[in-house]
Structure 1
Amino acid sequence: MTNPRGRPQQRLAIVYRPISDFKPDPTNARQHSQKQIVKLAQSIELFGFNVPIAVDTELNIISGHGRLEACRKLGITEVPTLCLDHLSPAQRRAFMIADNRLTELAQWDDRLLAQQLKDLSLAGLDFSLEVTGFDMGEIDLRIASLDEPPERDDDPADALPELPAGPPLSKEGDVWLLGRHRVLCGNALDAAAFAVTLGAERAAMVFTDPPYNVPIDGHASGLGAIHHRPFTMASGEMDSTQFTAFLGPDIPQPCVIQPRRLAPLCLHGLAACRRAAGGWSRRLWRAEKHLRLGQGQ
C-alpha cells in the first residue's frame, strides 16, 4: 500500500500505554481551557476513549494533549496510542498544527445540525445533550431555528430596481420619505432647510461635521503618497469672521434639537460654538492637535 506520493504507506498499530509515560510538548500552541477539558472528560466517560493519542518514539505527544488532561481528570491510567515514527521532526511539528487547524476550516450545516439535535432531544436519552459540546442554551436556539423559514437566495426583497435612463429626478427642495426617515435634497447652509426636513418635530440627536477651514491640497497628503481634493467651501480661504458666519447653520439651534439632548460637533470654530451655545447646559470639548483625514482618525 502506497500513499499519493508513491511512498510505502505506514501501517499504524494501536498500543496501550500508561499516561504517566507521556511527555506533553511545551511548544504545543493549542491551548485547552478547563471548560473544554471538562467537556472532553464527559465525552470520554460516556463514549469511551475512541481517539488514540499520537506520539513519537520518545513518547512526546504530537496529538492529544487535551484528551490526556481529560484522562487525568477521570483517573484513567492507560490509553491507546499511535506511534507516528514515520514522520520527520519537521513533519511532526507541522502535523501538530494541521491536526488542530484543519478541523477549524469545516462548517456546520445549521439546519441539519439543528434537526439532529432535535431528533436526539426527542429520543429519550439517558445522558445530557451537552455531551455533544454544545451548551443547552445554544441547543435550544438551534432547535427553535427550525421553525423559521429557510433563507431564500432569490428573495424578491433583495432585488434592486433598474436605474432610470434619464437625468436624476430629485431637485432642491425635495423631501424623500424612507419609512420613518426623511432625506432632504437641499442646502445645509440654509436654516429653512432644517424646518422643511423636520416639520414640527425636533431631533433627539444631531451630529455634524462641517469643513474645518484649513488647507487640504498639499497639507493632508500622507507624506506625499495621498492627495485629497479640497472642500468646495471652507478649505482655508475664509478669515475668522467669514468662517464663524459660515458655521452658523451647522450649529444645532433650539428649533432643531430637543432640550437636554446630545449634539456632537466636529469643528474648529469655537466662536461659532460659543455664539450658538447660549442655551446649552453642558459642553464637552476634544482638542485635535493634528489634521487627519480618512477612516483611521
Structure 2
Amino acid sequence: MNIVEQEYALEPLTKLRTHPKNANQGDQAALEDSVDANGFYGAVIAQRSTGYVVAGNHRLRLALERNATHLPVIWADIDDSTALRIVAVDNRVTRRGMDDPLALAELLEEITRETDSLAGTGYTDTDLQSLLDDLTRNANPTGLTDPEHIPERAPTRATLGSLWQLGPHRVMCGDSTNAEHVTTLLSGAKAALLHADPPYGMGKESEGVLTTTSELPSSTRSNSPGGTRGDHTSPTTPACTSGATPRTSGDSGTPQASTNSSRCSSATNSSGTKATPKA
C-alpha cells in the first residue's frame, strides 16, 4: 500500500486556500452544530505545494467565518492530479457508504440516554423515531398493507349451488363434477359451447379435460343423431359449471346453453368430430 508522505501541524489560516474545483456543497448548518457540540476535531488535508485544501473545505470556511486564526493541518506531498482525485473521491466514498440500521439506532439511543439530546450527531429525534419505526416493520412483516389499512371483507350471499338469472344468462356458483349442479344450471338446455381453462382456452386431453357425453347427466346430452355441438361437453372436470347462457339455435329452435369454465372439456364440431383445443 502506498502511504502518502504527510506531516501534521497547527498552521495559520493564511497558509490555506479552499480548492476551486471542490464540487461538494456540504451541509454547513450540520457542520456548525457538530463543532458547537463536539469542538473542532481532526484536521483538514492540504496539498503542501499549493496550500489548497483537498479534504475539509467547509471546515476551513467555518473557521474563517468564526475568525479562527489557526487550524490543525495534514500537509500531503501530492501532485496536482492526485490532489484533484482526492477532491473528487473524499466525499464520494462517504456518500456511497451505507448505515447498518440496527447499529445506527442503537448508537443514537445510547447517545440519547447519555446526553438526553442528539445535538451534534447530524440526526434529530424525528430521524431516530423514523428509524425505529422502520426496524419494527421489518422485524414483524405483515405484507404490503398495514393492518389498520386493510378493508373489511365485503359480505357475500354466494354459496355453493347458488344460481342467478341475469337477463338471458344463468350464472351458478357450482361444481362441474356435481351432476345436480350441471342439471340445474342447464335446465334442460343443450350446451353450445364449453370454454376450457379460461382465459386461455387450453384444456388438454392429456390432462383428462376432454371426455365423452357418456359422462354427462342425461338431461344435458344431445338427442340428435351423429353428434352436434355440445355433445362432448364435460361436467366431470373441476369448475366448469359457471356461466351457462340459454339461447335458441337459428336452425332447429332447440334451447341451447354455453358454459364458461376454469377447467373442462371442449365441444364437438358440426360434423360430430370432437374438437381438441391445442395448447
The TM-score range, normalised by the shorter chain, is 0.3 to 0.5
Rg larger in 1 or in 2? 2
